[in-house]
Structure 1
Amino acid sequence: MRKEGVQKIASALETYISTLKTEFTQGMILPTVNGEQSEPTPLPVCKPEKQKAPEHAAGNAFKSKSVGVKIPTCKINLKEVFLTSPDELYRIFITQELVQAFTHSPAVVEADKGGKFQLLDGSVTGEFIELVPEKQITMKWRFKSWPEGHFATINLAFSDKADETEVRLEGKGIPAQEEERTREGWQRYYFEGIKQTFGYGARLL
């Protein structure tokens, strides 16, 4: 009796295993075509899409980049003596009619802090930063040919030397390639122009 039970269990297991193998292999062995077994078609593999940054993020990244081009600059220093008082010389630099006289061309001069000026048919433009009567003139100053929007800072300091006035010019932020031209421009169009026009360059005997 026990022997028959073991045989029945073994027979049932054999049938069960055979059934499992049949079900498991279904679909893996494909029907043949003309006696040749077809290879299973591989499933397509999806590649992940590259995520695009939001438009506003791209805009911010663009804005964070520095805009503009840095240029090499230099500094100049000049000193000149005029045979006049500091008050008189100061007025010549900030009075439109007097500026037109020594530059021999139309000029626009707004003699106030933040006031604009334009000389030599627009070749020179700028803005007054600080005006201290008889003592100092500080301005943003540029030649028209300089890179757009670039200004040098020019400071004129007036010192009373008895019957003479000494002017010290300090120029910062001048484009390096324009150093000599700027130096000559101030010497010729400002200093020499004032002396020749108003007679402040020679002592009268």
Structure 2
Amino acid sequence: MKESVELRMIFPVGVEELFDSWLDGPRHTAMTGSPATASDEPGFEFRAWEDYIRGRNLEIVPYRKIVQSWRTTDFYPEDEDSRVELYFKSVEGGTELHLLHTHIPEGQTQYLQGWQEFYFKPMQAYFSERKK
């Protein structure tokens, strides 16, 4: 059975800034603390965390939704790409980011901790510091 991860967090930043930061290489790098390539172009092949992560933009609904194929170097060549869906919603105090990561290869349960440690935690620190 495939693994999945679902997370929600409110970031102290507007929807536009959070959305644009996800899809801009230098801003993605700044908010996560690790080099990344990113673009708002459909079909763009992105990379993050020193090529540990790679994937492709599948669907972009400006300031509402991003869907990407996603895989890490832990995937076997025969594994299908997983799917990351990001939903952005303006709420009191900033933007709620709802992440749904599905079709993760069976037994690869480390991604919940990975999303928290390598994305949500540094993003929260980055946007909190920028708010000051």
What is the TM-score of this pair, normalised by structure 2? 0.89
Q: Which runs of 5+ in 1 are unaligned?
A: 1-71
Q: Does 1:161 align with 2:91?
A: yes
Aligned residue runs from structure 1 range 115-126, under 5 A:
115-126=44-55
Q: CA-atom RMSD, angstroms? A: 1.9
More helix by share: 1
102, 115, 137: which one aligns with 2:66: 137
Match of 2:23 in 1: 94
Task: For 1:169, give the aligned amino acid.
Answer: L
Match of 1:66 in 2: none
**Identity value in percent:** 24
Task: For 1:86, give the aligned amino acid.
Answer: V
More strand by share: 2
Aligned residue runs from structure 1 range 1-205, under 5 A:
72-148=1-77, 149-179=79-109, 181-199=110-128
Q: Which runs of 5+ in 2 are unaligned?
A: none
CA-CA distance at 1:200 after TM superposition: 6.4
Asked if structure 2 preserves the Cα contact closer than 8 Å seen for 1:156 and 1:170, the reply is yes
Instruction: State the 4+ residue runs in structure 1 displaced beyond 3 angstroms.
Output: none
Asked if structure 2 preserves the Cα contact closer than 8 Å seen for 1:194 and 1:200, the reply is no
CA distance in 2, matches of 1:200, 1:130: 30
CA distance in 2, matches of 1:99, 1:90: 10
Higher relative contact order (CA 8 A, sep 6+): 2
CA distance in 2, matches of 1:73, 1:98: 31
Asked if structure 2 preserves the Cα contact closer than 8 Å seen for 1:82 and 1:200, the reply is no
The structure-2 alpha-carbon separation of the partners of 1:109 and 1:115, relative to structure 1 and needing over 3 Å to count, comes to same
